[in-house]
Chain A
Amino acid sequence: MKQQHGEGVVVVGGGHAGLEAALASARLGVPTTLVTLRPDRIGEMSCNPAVGGLGKGHLVREVDALGGALGSIADAAGIQFRLLNRRKGPAVRGPRAQCDRALFRSKAQALLAGSPVQVIAAEVIDLAVEGGRVVGVETDAGRIDAAAVVLTTGTFLGGVVHIGHQRHAAGRMGEAAASRLSARLREAAFAMGRLKTGTPARLRRGSIDFTALQPQPGDDDPVFLSFATRAPATSQVPCHITHTNPATHDVIRAHLRDSAMYSGGISGPGPRYCPSIEDKVTRFAEREAHQIFLEPEGLTTDLIYPNGVSTSLPADVQVAFLRTIRGLEAVEIAQPGYAIEYDYVDPRTLGPSLQHREIAGLYLAGQINGTTGYEEAAAQGLFAGANAALAVCDAPPLQVGRADGYIGVMIDDLVSQGVTEPYRMFTSRAEFRLRLRIDNADQRLTALAIHRGLVTGRAAEAFEAKMARLDTVREGLRALSLSPKQAAALGIAVNDDGQRRDGMALLALPDVTLAQLTPAAPDLATADAGTAELLQIEARYDTYVARQDADIARLSADDALPLNPDLAFHALAGLSAELRDKLAAVRPHTVGAARRIEGMTPAALLLVMAASERRTRKSA
């Protein structure tokens, strides 16, 4: 790809967003520099040592389909694989990998080392902006020029760690915060807010009595995060499950006033879906036990991550409550749990390519946008990095809609609705969930990735070959036309309604397999097991997906209609006060974004559109 601005992309931050941003930019052939405080911590998993899950696993598959790295790194570092919701429908299954933290980091760093990305160890203290366009970054070691900058600073912007009544500035445990950059962004009138999240203590493996606990092994036939992975790369280990009990809760309640989150020491709101153990004990006082997963941090490390007891109690109280728990009676902690508060930039200041609306060439991705999670960060990083590089090449930005991927859902949610707590992906956020599946992430996105240069070479060829196999069999199925009597002859019972059905309709019926249909269309016998499974899933949702086509058409039409940015939502007559408040808070940029506001009715939406049109015509 030809580069026209003479300078490249600078990525600030070496977490999961920064890594994907830098790799995507470099894949597009743009000179790319990654600036981080600690190059040795690139690819660090700062929270729990696992990747994927529901919604999150979907994001990883999409990152993989767009040529990103997270899936293959997590697979290579995977010490336990589980497919969540294995007994539910394929649209809501989520792959998850427990990872060896050290292995993950070394795979990530090796991947970066094998790429053309240049890594610089420095602290970025300011953005260089000229005439509304970013032209580089100022670091403590001097200025780096850039045609585009991707900020992926995670929790490091104004980060403050809380343990009980103690607090200190830090990006994460043991690492300095990026306070100067945060101060500069505030001065530059970025719309910023404060969020908090937490993490549990890390336990010493040798101090835990696993014999008393229920093991949770991985799946026998693992499902991986990357489409390319065929087998685990390392030996596999189980997790273990234990529970809190009334004695645990008593200890926690007795010390609530010492908790950073309950003593008023923290102002930012925490995530509802990642409550601290203090929260759980207080809000669900009637519960006598809360589940804890003891997750190994790796094959060689001594550390165990107790998933489910994130806390900001003083270290001695943490030890005390942990020791009331079965299996943990003699537990020792290597590092106490803590709460962390950090700055984020209101993502509504970003456009749909994750570029800042007012500063050209500046892209933001990851926790700086108010999200949480490696997967959410990686997906934004890839998207922002690719768009920064595409902009440098004067190419139009990558676009992924809500009907095309969880990435599209997330980015639209962020830039149009903003956040009130750290944003995490759930499958329930996707209105087109039945089409946004892990099995078809490549079918949804890889053609786009190839077209835009993000997937090339052997990966592109493998994808084209897979699509060709699918197309052949799919066409064979669509071409079938069987009467109920003919279907019955194949052992398939359908209503004797005289309706002819095609192969997809028959395959959608419970317990019907592709093999059953092959006598009617011998070509189908050529389908390999993978192709057959994909079409089986596709057939299952075919009618539902078709039903949503009209909704999707309407969605794209509405999303293409801009609303006047100067519209005074508070002054709109004919709307309920509640709806006016919501509109004024969200300030939707498009009709589609307005439509998605809670409580919106079609009549109210029309009123908003009419008011916007009036405003536009009057000022014209």
Chain B
Amino acid sequence: METVFALASGPGIAAIAVIRVTGPAAASAVAALTGRAVPAPRRASQRRLIDATGHVLDEALVLWFPGPASATGEDLAELHCHGSRAVVDGVLAALAAVPGCTAAEPGEFTRRAFLNGKLDLVKVEALGDLLTAETEAQRHQALGAFGGGLSALADTWRRSLATALALVEATIDWADEDVPQDVSPEVRQRIDQVAVSMAEALAGQAAAMRLRDGYEVVLIGAPNAGKSTLLNAVAGHEAAITAAEPGTTRDFVEVSLSLDGLPVTLVDTAGLRSGDDVGAVEATGIARTLTRAAAADLRLFLDAPDAPLPGEAAALWHDGDLSVAVKGDLMPRVGAVSAVTGAGLPELRRTVAGILGERASRASSVISLRQRGVVGAAAEALARATSQGETELLAEELRAALAALEHLTGRTSPDDVLAEVFGRFCLGK
């Protein structure tokens, strides 16, 4: 049984994120991330999480539940980390790098609990509903405007690889017959095409993750530039506290909204300023703003003549970011926005939606970490296949690639491959 992990708390931003690891390698996963043995069973212990290069990911609470007295019946660890996306992504990536650990299937934890007799009837009922809902959601995703039919893409991979495998199997099982002796050019061509397509899908997956979790747009400006006011105006309600006192917003204020159907989280940040009068608390807020802004998908730099940005803001600028002229009611300029009169707001929304929409259209349909793992495993098998000269080992790698894709496309049975063989060649005596 392999060891699997997943974010147990919902996706998106939360104060605390809970990541669970279950399976025989759970203890070694904890050891790999904490550099220490597992803590005492069922007691919350504080641990520093590090990745394979020794880079610190987070300070987390680690709980250890040795099997079978755990929720899944197996060794199980819970990592309670800070809820930022960077931390969660970092911890998940570090777990994926632990030998024997893979991202869980949807419902995998429940499945294991079920297999190990840890679920009562009510939960088994709920499991059926959950899976039905999941299947439904996946169907919608496949049909959705952006989901871009991962299933459809995976199915083209599956069909091409099944044909390649059929060609190889024909030369193995019908050694005595008039199979065209050299099927290798077509086999090679199919493997190469699928490998390229998989690589493209994997490269585009970061953008696709945003489709699921939402895009993050950060407002950057000097204190009192009107960030909170703008946030409220765009979001349409009083989400942030607004006040004339500079430095009011020291923690992040976030509003989730939908811009032209794209999920967007708009983040208000501490105003950027420097000087001797910046206190320790405010300095911390500014530092966190810089980090958050750097990780965001899009930054809006507020241009307010009465509150100019300090020099360090320039370092945050990425290609494609926007400069927004604010306080248009007080200081009229071309294209200026006024949160008070609402002038320019629809245009700003459209511009932001346009930029994000353009990125979304490039999004690959490979969306979850689990799917990334599946496609990655298939791509690795294909890479091994291309360097493989021996027929039966080439077939083995093609089988491994198809087995990995099983999670997306369903099983490819030997009968499928045989049907392909018989459809293509006149075989048998």
Residue interface mask B411-429, A partner, CB < 8 A = 1: 1111111100110001111
Residue on A with the closest CB to B406?
Answer: A601
Asked if A204 lies at the interface with its beta carbon under 8 angstroms from chain B, I say no
Q: Decide if A600 touches B410 in the complex (CB within 8 Å).
A: yes
Contact partners of A599 in chain B: CB under 8 A? 410-411
- Minimal beta-carbon separation of B168 from chain A (angstroms): 9
- Stretch from B87-95, B255-263, B386-394 at the A interface: B386-394
Contact partners of B406 in chain A: CB under 8 A? 600-602
- Minimal beta-carbon separation of A425 from chain B (angstroms): 9
In the bound complex, how far is the Cα of B427 from the Cα of A274, in angstroms?
7
Contact with B105, one of A275, A561, A603 (Cβ below 8 angstroms): A603
Residue on A with the closest CB to B139?
Answer: A576
Residue on A with the closest CB to B135?
Answer: A574
Residue on A with the closest CB to B176?
Answer: A84
In the bound complex, how far is the Cα of B406 from the Cα of A603, in angstroms?
11
Q: Decide if B428 touches A598 in the complex (CB within 8 Å).
A: no
Residue on B with the closest CB to A612?
Answer: B124
Residue on B with the closest CB to A47?
Answer: B429
Interface size class for chain A? 35 or more
- Stretch from A87-95, A183-191, A361-369, A479-487 at the B interface: A87-95
- Minimal beta-carbon separation of A429 from chain B (angstroms): 5
Q: Decide if B413 touches A597 in the complex (CB within 8 Å).
A: yes
Q: Decide if A598 touches B131 in the complex (CB within 8 Å).
A: no
Q: Decide if A602 touches B393 in the complex (CB within 8 Å).
A: no
Q: Decide if A54 touches B416 in the complex (CB within 8 Å).
A: no
Contact partners of B106 in chain A: CB under 8 A? 603
- Minimal beta-carbon separation of B156 from chain A (angstroms): 16
Contact partners of A308 in chain B: CB under 8 A? 429
Residue on A with the closest CB to B410?
Answer: A599
Asked if A129 lies at the interface with its beta carbon under 8 angstroms from chain B, I say no
Contact partners of A611 in chain B: CB under 8 A? 128
Asked if A604 lies at the interface with its beta carbon under 8 angstroms from chain B, I say yes
Q: Decide if B417 touches A428 in the complex (CB within 8 Å).
A: yes
- Stretch from A114-122, A153-161, A287-295 at the B interface: A287-295
In the bound complex, how far is the Cα of B114 from the Cα of A611, in angstroms?
12
Residue interface mask B182-201, A partner, CB < 8 A = 1: 00000000000000000000
Contact partners of B429 in chain A: CB under 8 A? 48, 274, 293, 307-308, 310
Contact partners of A307 in chain B: CB under 8 A? 429
Contact partners of B416 in chain A: CB under 8 A? 598
In the bound complex, how far is the Cα of B390 from the Cα of A293, in angstroms?
28
Q: Decide if A427 touches B173 in the complex (CB within 8 Å).
A: yes
Q: Decide if A613 touches B1 in the complex (CB within 8 Å).
A: no
Known: A88-B172, A598-B412. A275 touches B396 (CB 8 A): no
Contact partners of B1 in chain A: CB under 8 A? 550, 553-554, 557
Within 8 A of B (CB), among A413-436: 426-429, 431, 433-434
Q: Decide if B411 touches A596 in the complex (CB within 8 Å).
A: yes
Q: Decide if B131 touches A574 in the complex (CB within 8 Å).
A: yes
Asked if A450 lies at the interface with its beta carbon under 8 angstroms from chain B, I say no
Asked if B312 lies at the interface with its beta carbon under 8 angstroms from chain A, I say no
In the bound complex, how far is the Cα of B111 from the Cα of A557, in angstroms?
14
Asked if A584 lies at the interface with its beta carbon under 8 angstroms from chain B, I say no
Contact with A601, one of B172, B407, B422 (Cβ below 8 angstroms): B407
Asked if B314 lies at the interface with its beta carbon under 8 angstroms from chain A, I say no
Residue interface mask A548-573, B partner, CB < 8 A = 1: 00100110010001000000000001
Contact with B411, one of A274, A550, A600 (Cβ below 8 angstroms): A600
Q: Decide if A597 touches B114 in the complex (CB within 8 Å).
A: no
- Minimal beta-carbon separation of B355 from chain A (angstroms): 35
Residue on A with the closest CB to B390?
Answer: A89
Within 8 A of A (CB), among B90-122: 105-108, 110-111, 114-115, 121
Known: A54-B175, A89-B393. A607 touches B131 (CB 8 A): yes
- Minimal beta-carbon separation of A562 from chain B (angstroms): 13
Q: Decide if B124 touches A617 in the complex (CB within 8 Å).
A: yes
- Minimal beta-carbon separation of A516 from chain B (angstroms): 21
Contact partners of B107 in chain A: CB under 8 A? 603, 606
Residue on A with the closest CB to B413?
Answer: A598
Asked if B132 lies at the interface with its beta carbon under 8 angstroms from chain A, I say yes
In the bound complex, how far is the Cα of B105 from the Cα of A48, in angstroms?
50
Contact partners of A553 in chain B: CB under 8 A? 1
Asked if A526 lies at the interface with its beta carbon under 8 angstroms from chain B, I say no
In the bound complex, how far is the Cα of B427 from the Cα of A619, in angstroms?
50
Contact with A54, one of B131, B172, B415, B422 (Cβ below 8 angstroms): B172
Within 8 A of A (CB), among B162-176: 169, 172-176
Asked if A143 lies at the interface with its beta carbon under 8 angstroms from chain B, I say no
Residue on B with the closest CB to A600?
Answer: B411
Known: A310-B429, A426-B173, A606-B111. A601 touches B410 (CB 8 A): yes
Known: A273-B427, A603-B135. A610 touches B128 (CB 8 A): yes
Contact partners of A597 in chain B: CB under 8 A? 411, 413
Within 8 A of B (CB), among A265-305: 271-275, 280, 283-284, 287, 290-291, 293
Residue on A with the closest CB to B120?
Answer: A617
Known: A427-B173, A607-B132. A272 touches B127 (CB 8 A): no
Q: Decide if B131 touches A610 in the complex (CB within 8 Å).
A: yes
Residue on B with the closest CB to A289?
Answer: B178
- Minimal beta-carbon separation of B404 from chain A (angstroms): 12
**In the complex, which of the residues A89, A427, A606 has the most CB atoms of chain B within 10 Å of its own CB atom?**
A606
- Minimal beta-carbon separation of A518 from chain B (angstroms): 26
Within 8 A of B (CB), among A572-620: 573-575, 579, 595-604, 606-607, 609-611, 613-614, 617
Asked if B47 lies at the interface with its beta carbon under 8 angstroms from chain A, I say no
- Minimal beta-carbon separation of A614 from chain B (angstroms): 6
Q: Decide if A275 touches B426 in the complex (CB within 8 Å).
A: yes
In the bound complex, how far is the Cα of B125 from the Cα of A8, in angstroms?
49
Asked if A55 lies at the interface with its beta carbon under 8 angstroms from chain B, I say yes
- Minimal beta-carbon separation of A88 from chain B (angstroms): 5
Q: Decide if B128 touches A427 in the complex (CB within 8 Å).
A: no
In the bound complex, how far is the Cα of B254 from the Cα of A221, in angstroms?
79
In the bound complex, how far is the Cα of B411 from the Cα of A550, in angstroms?
18
Q: Decide if A573 touches B410 in the complex (CB within 8 Å).
A: no
Asked if B82 lies at the interface with its beta carbon under 8 angstroms from chain A, I say no
Asked if B136 lies at the interface with its beta carbon under 8 angstroms from chain A, I say yes
In the bound complex, how far is the Cα of B176 from the Cα of A94, in angstroms?
11
Nearest 7 A/B pairs, CB to CB? A574-B132, A599-B410, A598-B413, A284-B426, A273-B428, A89-B392, A272-B422
Given contacts A272-B428, A574-B132, 18 further A-B contacts (CB under 8 A): A54-B172, A88-B175, A88-B391, A88-B392, A89-B391, A290-B426, A293-B176, A433-B395, A434-B393, A561-B115, A573-B128, A574-B128, A601-B406, A602-B108, A603-B134, A606-B114, A609-B115, A610-B127
Q: List 30 A-B contacts (CB under 8 A).
A: A54-B172, A55-B173, A271-B428, A272-B418, A274-B428, A275-B428, A280-B426, A290-B178, A291-B177, A426-B173, A427-B169, A428-B172, A428-B395, A428-B414, A428-B421, A431-B414, A434-B396, A561-B115, A579-B410, A598-B415, A598-B416, A601-B407, A601-B408, A603-B131, A606-B107, A606-B131, A607-B132, A609-B111, A611-B128, A617-B121
